[in-house]
Each structure stands twice: as C-alpha cells, then as structure tokens.
Amino acid sequence: MKRIAETIMVTFAGGLLFTWLHVPLSWMLGPLTAVLLWTALARRSLAWPEKLRNMGLALLGYSMGLSFTIESALQISTQLPSMLIATITTIVFSLIVAAWTAKQTNVSFESSAIGSIPGGLSQMVVLSEEIEGADLAVVAFMQTIRLLTVIFTVPFLAVHGLANEAVQGVAGPDGQANGSADTIISSIMAAAQAITSRPLFSVILLLCVMASVWIAVRLRFPTPYFLGPILAASLFTIAGYEPPHLPSLFIILAQWSLGIYLGLGIKLSSLGDWRKLLPYSIMGSVAIVAFSLGLSVVFSSLMPISVMTAFLGTSPGGMTEMGVTATLVGANVSLVVAYQMFRILFILFVVPYLLKWGFRRFRRNPNPDPRTGES
C-alpha cells in the first residue's frame, strides 16, 4: 500500500505539471514520465494494481466504442483494402529501417526486425523468444524506444501540427477536450441522470460490458479489457441505442492509470550496451512516424478520410494511445481504432509465420551465388 500511495503522489504531480505546461494527453504522458524519472533517478520501486489498469482500459474502451455507428461501420468495411495496404507498406518500411539499424549497430537482423515492427511491446518480446538469433533485450529496448517516440511525438504533431486549433486537456463526453472543474461536475451529473432515468438499461449495459471482457479474455484477444468494452458499446450504438457517456473525471482517471501502467512496463535498463543502439532506435522510430504521416497524406487525397484520422490510424502506436489521441483532437475514433486493430491482428496472426519462414530461408541461403543460385 505504501508503494501504491507513493505511485499516486508521484504520478499526480507529473499529471499536474504536464497539465500546467499544456502538454497533449497530460494525464497519460505526465504520469508515464513521472514513473520513468522517479524509478531512474530516485531508484525507487513503484507499484500499480493490475485491476486498476484493467478498469482504466475498460473505461477508455467503452468511451471509444460509443463513437461507432452504422455509418462508421459501413465506412470501415469500405476501407479494409486500404487498411491492408497501410499495414503491409508500414511493415515493409519497418524492415528496411531494421536492416539499416542492424548494419549500423551490428545487432542481428532478427533482433532489429522484431524490434522495429510496430506490434505490441509484450507480443514482440514473446515472439523474439521463438526466433533463433533474436536477442530479447535488444528487442525489448527497441520496442520501448519506439513506444516512447510514438507516444510523445504523435500527439504533439496531431495537436500542434494537424489540428485546426490546439486542443488541450482531456476529451469530455462530447468529444471536445475540457478538463475544467465545472465541466467535470456537469458531466458527472449528466451521466448520473442518464443512469437513473434508465436503470434497467444501465444494468443490462453493464452486464454486457462485463460479458464482453470475459469473452475477449477467453478468446485471447489482444488487450481484451480494452477491446471487449469497445465491442459492447459499439454494438449498442449500432443497434440504435444511446448508452450514457462517461464523465470527464472518469476519462482523466483512466488515462492516469494507463500512463502509470505504460511507465512501469518500460525497462530502459534492460540492455547493457544501450548507448550505441539508442540514437539509431530513435532515428528509426522517427522515420516510421514520418512514413505514416506521408502515407496519411496520400490516403487523404485518394479516400474520404482526413489527414488527422489517417495519421493516427497508420501511426506505429497502440490502439489505446492512438484512440485516446483521436478523442482528444476530434478525429474519427472508430476509423482510427479500426486501422490500429487491423494492423495489430495482422502482425499477431500473420507476421510471426512470415518472419519465421523468411529468417529460416535467409539463414539457409545467406549469400547465394548469382550464377547458380546456391550458397
């Protein structure tokens, strides 16, 4: 309990500081940064219960699921080919960056490739254990740097570079960012009124959300506590019902919990010789973000999708982080989550088999004779 109390105090200070500095996603990036600095400089061990992490993910998932409508579902179905194109081109570009990083740092191409592909950090680390020649510490370090680069650069670019006007604070029920005390109180009262006016519907909705989480866990979905509530809320909205929106305070607490969880999951000391790999990992991550930005410009010129939505959908971040950013800047949250979900599922279920096949083929025939085709 003392470690949890220390975590709350440290991360609350980080959230307040980033809010005062008008940093986008202040209640996610502030606690994340506070955890990293406190554990690195003060050499203190912080803790956060997994149940609170899961509750935060469920709140964010439910809130984002409310953006799904029949129109957005139809729009997503028409953009499946573009999702596939975006995913494949991003993976190919990541492999090109990985080859360059491996050449400059002398790490194995297997480690560099798995460390550069924008999948989930934990999933890529697990995959590295199954690939011969991959260094788990290198993969964890590169994925960590990629995650940090995306989390800090993409929201900044979205808010200060692509948005029509910089939006600060936390997204409220109407999709606009507003974290003032008056707005929080009014949103809590509105949510309470919506629940008390339809108590039976609220109970059924709660049971469906809980059931969706249980099903997502049983089916081993990626981030089940986030995906389950998204699916439950989206089914209600697509069916024509109007589930109550969450108060702004709940969104702040959910982002706070997510920031703590991300900070505790990042281990910058996992690699001994990290100084040589760090600059190339940062440059590679920035290159992939820039590639996503260029890809989003092309997509927006060819399809009915804004540059903002395309950028957040194709960025090499996670569903949760990019979904929260989309809510903050008023992008099409349903499309952003759909693009991110498609890429993650493709990387989870298709890429491992392709990588294993490719690495085996590469090791079997590393330097083919151009005349005979034999090693």
Give the integer Cα–Cα distance in Å for 208 and 206.
5
Displacement of CA 223 from its chain's centroid (Å)? 10
Number of domains within the chain? 1
Residue 7 domain-assigned (yes or no):
no
Domain of residue 108, residue span: 65-361
Residue 101 domain-assigned (yes or no):
yes
**CA nearest neighbour of 124 among 362, 357, 355, 359:** 355
CA angle 224, 226, 231 (to 5 degrees): 85
Give the integer Cα–Cα distance in Å for 130 and 10.
37
pLDDT in tens, the chain (375 residues): 888 999 999 999 999 998 898 887 788 888 988 998 898 888 888 889 989 989 988 998 898 888 787 887 787 888 889 999 999 999 999 999 999 999 998 888 988 999 899 876 666 766 777 777 788 778 878 888 888 888 888 888 888 777 654 343 333 433 334 455 555 566 666 666 666 667 788 788 889 999 999 998 898 877 788 888 988 998 998 888 888 888 888 888 988 998 898 788 776 665 556 678 889 999 999 999 999 999 999 999 988 889 999 999 999 877 778 888 888 788 888 899 889 888 887 887 788 888 888 887 776 655 544 444 444
Give the integer Cα–Cα distance in Å for 309 and 326.
7
What is the biggest distance separating any 2 CA atoms in the chain, rounded to whole angstroms?
A: 79
**Within a 10 A sphere around the Cβ of 314, how many other Cβ atoms?**
31
Instruction: Give the 3-state DSSP-derived string for the chain, with helices as H, strands as E and coil as C.
Output: CHHHHHHHHHHHHHHHHHHHCCCCCHHHHHHHHHHHHHHHHCCCCCCCCHHHHHHHHHHHHHHHHCCCCHHHHHHHHHCHHHHHHHHHHHHHHHHHHHHHHHHHHCCCHHHHHHHHCCCCHHHHHHHHCCCCCCCHHHHHHHHHHHHHHHHHHHHHHHHHHHCCCCCCCCECCCCCECCCHHHHHHHHHHHHHHHHHCHHHHHHHHHHHHHHHHHHHHCCCCCHHHHHHHHHHHHHHHCCCCCCCCCHHHHHHHHHHHHHHHHHHCCCCCCCCHHHHHHHHHHHHHHHHHHHHHHHHHHHHHCCCCHHHHHHHHCCCCHHHHHHHHHHHCCCHHHHHHHHHHHHHHHHHCHHHHHHHHHHHHHHCCCCCCCCCCC
CA angle 347, 276, 125 (to 5 degrees): 25
Q: What is the pLDDT of residues 20-70, one digit of tens each?
A: 988 877 888 889 889 988 988 888 888 899 899 899 889 988 988 887 878
In this prediction the pTM is 0.75
Displacement of CA 189 from its chain's centroid (Å)? 30
CA distances from 276 to 73, 111, 181, 240 (A): 46, 15, 46, 55
Cβ atoms 285, 83 nearer than 8 A: no
Residue 354 domain-assigned (yes or no):
yes
Cβ atoms 4, 12 nearer than 8 A: no
106-107-109-110 Cα dihedral, nearest 10 degrees: 170
Residue 4 domain-assigned (yes or no):
no
Cβ atoms 43, 247 nearer than 8 A: no
Cβ atoms 167, 176 nearer than 8 A: yes
Cβ atoms 76, 335 nearer than 8 A: yes
Residue 3 domain-assigned (yes or no):
no
Q: What is the pLDDT of residues 327-345, one digit of tens each?
A: 878 888 889 988 988 888 7
Residue 166 domain-assigned (yes or no):
yes
Residue 261 domain-assigned (yes or no):
yes
**CA nearest neighbour of 315 among 335, 284, 348, 291:** 291
Give the integer Cα–Cα distance in Å for 141 and 266.
9
Residue 56 domain-assigned (yes or no):
no
